């Protein structure tokens, strides 16, 4: 059975060009880029090219790119650095809909005496700019607001929000893991001080991330040891994955128009195909400001896990908005913050597409899903 992969917000296929570029780094160019001899030293050139390619996509200087092990490490580092460099400031602003990499990190700092403001969202997952403005205070060490939400795909007004922080002299970080390669932005034109991305969400391998730190922003390393990354992140450079991520960023730039046109059209076709054929559905999130490949669809009165298991029978990979905790299906923190009606929250299913998906795959899903939902509803104990 062919796999139809509609779970690209969870992880993505490594692009063939990325694998190809990485191979020599395993077979012939496996030296340590920090070595004095030219066998190792030649690898530094490849690392530098990767850094330049990432910088080009982000619109920043190569020296502002710090390679990390993942998006989660980048997020942890951004918060850590902001707090360590401003020991007198004891307030953190974030949102209720962040990825756990931010939510769990700020929750930890909360146990260490920090005050945390978690901005709420409306029914479509949108932030309130007045609530944000009121939260920015002289005691605020950092505002960390995600660029795009992984579950419903909402894109937040980061240009505006970073500017509001800058006006008040407050550091601004954004988790752009879902936005990178899908939303065009230029850091040289924004007031963002720090930004996180992750390789495996844009067709590079798992286990490589980037933290952008704007030149002039005070920084304190999170991982200590050697002098790599200009002393900002110790540990021997992951040269193969850095090379891969660089190529992935080049590809993302090349395919950007395809993402906002063809991928968005496929997503719309899938969404319309399902919602027009199945009664009592909701599309979660802000459909006006959303990632091109993401749709999050809720089906009244059924459970998301059941939908996923049935989709799996057809080789279709998707994700649910529920996390199975201790046997009871709790709606995710994002849907909870959005106050998605109870009868819908439990069945929320995320389909996230990428440039490798085809219309054929979408049409197969549109054909299979409506009868599948009908079967589940016939079985469901909830009938109203």
Binding site for ligand PLP (CB under 6 A): 70-72, 99, 101, 146, 150, 175, 177-178, 198, 200-201, 209
Rounded alpha-carbon distances, angstroms, from residue 197 to 74, 175, 219, 348, 352: 7, 7, 18, 26, 18
How many other C-beta atoms lie within 10 A of the C-beta of residue 172? Answer: 28
Smallest gap from Cβ 116 to ligand PLP, in A, equals 18
Smaller CB separation from ligand PLP, 175 or 310: 175
Residues forming a β-bridge with 116: 92
Is residue 238 within 8 A of residue 334, CB to CB? The reply is no
Smaller CB separation from ligand PLP, 149 or 281: 149
Helix, strand, coil content of the chain in percent (nearest 5): 45, 20, 40
b/e 64-81 (16+ beta carbons within 10 angstroms → b)? bbbbbbbbbbbbbbbbbb
Smaller CB separation from ligand PLP, 10 or 135: 10
Q: What is the DSSP letter of 59?
A: T
Burial class (CB in 10 A: 0-12, 13-18, 19+), 340: buried
Q: Where in 90-208 does DSSP place strands (E)?
A: 91-95, 115-119, 140-144, 171-175, 194-198
354 is catalytic: no
Smallest gap from Cβ 349 to ligand PLP, in A, equals 17
Please choose, from the candidates 258, 376, 251, the residue with its C-alpha nearest in 3D space to the C-alpha of residue 313.
376
Smallest gap from Cβ 382 to ligand PLP, in A, equals 31
Query: CB under 8 Å to 216, separation ≥6 — which residues?
Result: none
Catalytic-labelled residue, pool 70, 191, 317, 324: 324
Rounded alpha-carbon distances, angstroms, from residue 374 to 257, 278, 326, 345, 379: 37, 8, 28, 18, 9
Smallest gap from Cβ 204 to ligand PLP, in A, equals 10
**Residue 148: phi, psi to the nearest 5?**
-145, 145
Smallest gap from Cβ 181 to ligand PLP, in A, equals 12
Smallest gap from Cβ 199 to ligand PLP, in A, equals 7
d(CA 109, CA 144): 14
Smaller CB separation from ligand PLP, 105 or 357: 105
Smallest gap from Cβ 206 to ligand PLP, in A, equals 7
Smaller CB separation from ligand PLP, 209 or 293: 209
Smaller CB separation from ligand PLP, 200 or 333: 200
Closest residue by beta carbon to ligand PLP:
71
Smaller CB separation from ligand PLP, 94 or 198: 198
Checking phi first, is residue 134 left (phi over 0); if not, alpha (psi -120 to 50) or beta? alpha
Q: Which residues are known to be catalytic?
A: 324
């Amino acid at each position: 059975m062919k796999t139809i992969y509609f779970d690209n917000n969870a992880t993505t296929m490594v692009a063939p060009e990325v694998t190809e570029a990485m191979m020599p780094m395993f077979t012939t160019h496996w030296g340590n880029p920090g070595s004095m001899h030219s066998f190792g030293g030649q690898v530094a050139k490849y690392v530098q090219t990767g850094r330049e390619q990432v910088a080009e996509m982000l619109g920043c200087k190569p020296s502002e790119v710090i390679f990390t092990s993942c998006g989660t490490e980048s997020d942890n580092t951004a918060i850590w650095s902001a707090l360590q460099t401003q020991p007198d400031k004891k307030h953190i602003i974030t949102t209720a809909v962040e990825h756990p990499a931010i939510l769990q990190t700020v929750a930890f700092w909360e146990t260490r005496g920090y005050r945390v403001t978690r901005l709420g969202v409306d029914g479509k997952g949108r932030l309130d700019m007045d609530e944000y403005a009121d939260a920015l205070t002289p005691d605020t060490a950092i505002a960390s607001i995600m660029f795009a939400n992984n579950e419903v795909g909402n894109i937040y007004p980061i240009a505006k929000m970073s500017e509001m922080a800058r006006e008040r002299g407050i550091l601004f970080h954004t988790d752009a893991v879902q936005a990178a390669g899908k939303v065009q932005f230029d850091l040289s034109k924004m007031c963002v001080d720090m930004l996180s991305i992750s390789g495996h969400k844009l067709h590079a391998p798992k286990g490589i991330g980037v933290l952008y730190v704007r030149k002039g922003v005070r920084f304190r390393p999170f991982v200590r040891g050697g002098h790599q990354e200009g002393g900002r992140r110790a540990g021997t450079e992951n040269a193969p994955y850095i090379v891969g991520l660089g190529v992935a960023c080049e590809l993302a730039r090349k395919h950007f128009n395809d993402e906002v046109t063809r991928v968005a059209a496929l997503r719309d076709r899938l969404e319309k195909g399902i919602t027009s054929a199945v009664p009592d559905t909701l599309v979660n999130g802000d459909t006006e400001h959303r990632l091109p490949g993401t749709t999050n669809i809720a089906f009244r009165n059924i459970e998301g896990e059941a939908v996923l298991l049935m989709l799996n029978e057809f080789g279709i990979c998707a994700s649910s908005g529920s996390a199975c905790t201790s046997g009871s299906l709790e709606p995710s923190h994002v849907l909870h913050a959005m106050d998605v009606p109870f009868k819908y929250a439990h069945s929320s299913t995320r389909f996230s597409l990428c440039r490798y998906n085809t219309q054929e795959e979408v049409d197969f899903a549109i054909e299979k899903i409506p009868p599948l939902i009908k079967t589940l509803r016939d079985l469901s104990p909830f009938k109203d």
